[in-house]
Structure 1
Amino acid sequence: MNLPLKRLTATLLPALLMANPALAGPETLPEEQRAFWERFQALCGQAFAGEISDVTHYYADGVEGREMRMQVMECEDDRIHAPFHIDDNHSRNWILTIVDGTIRLKHDHRYEDGTEEAISQYGGDAPTPGLPTRQIFPADEHTAEILPKRADNFWFFDFVDEDTLQYGVHWPKYGHSIRVEFDLSETIETPPRPWGYDDED
C-alpha cells in the first residue's frame, strides 16, 4: 500500500538531506516556509527604514531614538544576507540559510576591522512548518553555550501585512523583548556595506 505523499516526504526528506547536503534549496522546505522564503527574497537589493514598535526597559536605552535600516543585500537559493544598521554601527548581520529542511537564522556580528565579535553566530532553526508570514527561531545549542542566560531566547520575522516586516527577540526568563518594524512600502538609500563584508563571499 502506498504511503500518502506528505507522509512519504516527511519520512524520506531528512534521509535525503543527510545523504546529500547539496539538497538545500527552497524545494526542500515545507510549503509554509517556502512561501516565507520567497517573500523575503522578493526584497533582495532593497533597503528599508525601521523603528521600534515595542521595547522593554532592558533594551530601551540602546535603541530608542536611533536610526534603523535594514538591507536585503545578497540572496542565493539557500542563503539571504540582510545587514541591520543602527546609526553608524554596521556590525550586525542577519544570515538566513536553508539547512536540513528548515530555515536557520544566525546573527553575525563584526568589529569595524571586519573581524568577528566573540558573541556572534547566535540564533537557531525554525520549527516546521511555521506560517507563510511568520517564522520563529528558538535559541540553539551554540547560543546556549555563549549566552547561557539566554538559552530560552527566540527571534522572529513577521510579515504583518504587505507593507510591514517586523523583527523581534523575546527573552522569556526575564521578560525582556524588543520589536522593530520596517516600512516595506518605501525603499531608502542603500546603507554602507556592513563591516567585514566589503566584498561578499
Structure 2
Amino acid sequence: MKNTLKLLTSFVLATLITACACSSCAPAPNFDEILSPQESEFFSLIQSMCGKTFVGESVYPEDPGHDFAGKKLVATIDYCDNQHIAIPFTVGEDESRTWHLNKTYQGLLFKHEHRLKDGSPDPVTNYGGYSASYKGEAVTATKHFFHADDFTAELIPDAKTNVWMLEVDPENQELTYYLERHGKPRYKAVLQLKE
C-alpha cells in the first residue's frame, strides 16, 4: 500500500511538473481571431514593409522653435513578427525613440519607447494606446487612431486625451504620423518611402 501511494504521489508530481513546464509550449494565441479585420489588415500592411525606411520632416506645427523643426525624420520598420513590430524613429541625430505596434487581447496597441543615451529606459516611456475610431471616423486597413491608455494618463496627465494617428498611403508611398490633444492638432510628420 505504501509503495502504491508513493508511486501515485510520484506520478501526480511528475504530471504537474510536466504540465507546468509545457504551459510555456502552448501555441501562441491567434490574435487575428480577436482583432477586427481592419486591425489585422493594418498590421499586415505595416508588416509587409519590414526592412523599409521612410524619410521626411515635420509639417505641423510650423514653429521654428519646435524640438523637431528642421530635423530629418527617419522611420525604419526594423523588426516584425506575427505579434509585434518595432519601428525606430530618428529625429536628426537623436536615436532614442522607437514606435511599437502590438497585437493584444484588447486590440491593436501603439506605444512609444524612449531610451536615455546610456540605453536605459527614459523615465517617460511606453506611452500610447489602443486602436479605435475617432471623431466618427472608423479605422481602416491603412489608417488607425490610437487613444491614450490608462498607463499614459497616469504617466503624462496632460496626455490623457492624446490620440495618435498612423496612416500608410501605398499609392504615394507615404507614412503619416499625427497627434491630437484635446481634439486639436498638436504634431504631424509626413515621411516618404526611401527606395
Q: TM-score, normalised by structure 1?
A: 0.75
Paired with 1:157 and 1:99, the residues of 2 have a C-alpha distance of: 18
The Cα RMSD (Å) is: 2.2
Paired with 1:167 and 1:60, the residues of 2 have a C-alpha distance of: 20
Q: How does 1:56-135 map to 2 (within 5 A)?
A: 57=63, 61-100=66-105, 102-127=107-132, 130-135=139-144
1:157 to 166, 174, 184: 166
Paired with 2:85 and 2:139, the residues of 1 have a C-alpha distance of: 18
Distance 1:172 1:56, change over 3 A: farther
Structure 2 SS opposite 1:113:
coil
1:144 to 134, 153, 159: 153
Counting aligned pairs with the same residue, the percent is 26
Q: TM-score, normalised by structure 2?
A: 0.77
Q: Does 1:35 align with 2:41?
A: yes
Deviation at 1:53, TM superposition (A): 2.5
Q: Retained in 1: the 8 A contact 2:80–2:86? A: yes
Structure 1: runs of 5+ lacking an equivalent: 1-19, 188-201
Name the counterpart of 2:54.
48
Which amino acid in structure 2 is aligned with residue 30 of structure 1? S
Q: Retained in 1: the 8 A contact 2:106–2:130? A: no
Distance 1:45 1:160, change over 3 A: closer
Q: Once the two structures are superposed, what CA deviation does each residue of 1:45-77 show, in whole Å capped at 9, x if it has no partner?
A: 1212121233264x9521111011010000010
Paired with 1:46 and 1:138, the residues of 2 have a C-alpha distance of: 26
Deviation at 1:101, TM superposition (A): 5.0
Deviation at 1:33, TM superposition (A): 1.4
Higher relative CO (Cα under 8 Å, sequence separation at least 6) belongs to 1
Distance 1:182 1:76, change over 3 A: same
Which amino acid in structure 1 is aligned with residue 90 of structure 2? H
Q: Retained in 2: the 8 A contact 1:56–1:176? A: no
Paired with 1:67 and 1:167, the residues of 2 have a C-alpha distance of: 14
Q: Retained in 2: the 8 A contact 1:123–1:138? A: yes
Structure 1 SS opposite 2:177:
strand
Structure 2: runs of 5+ lacking an equivalent: 1-25
Paired with 1:60 and 1:116, the residues of 2 have a C-alpha distance of: 26
Q: How many residues align?
A: 165
Name the counterpart of 1:167.
177
Say which is worse superposed, 113-122 or 155-164, in terms of deviation.
155-164
Structure 1 SS opposite 2:28:
coil
Q: Once the two structures are superposed, what CA deviation does each residue of 1:86-131 show, in whole Å capped at 9, x if it has no partner?
A: 1111000101100015110111100111100000010011127721
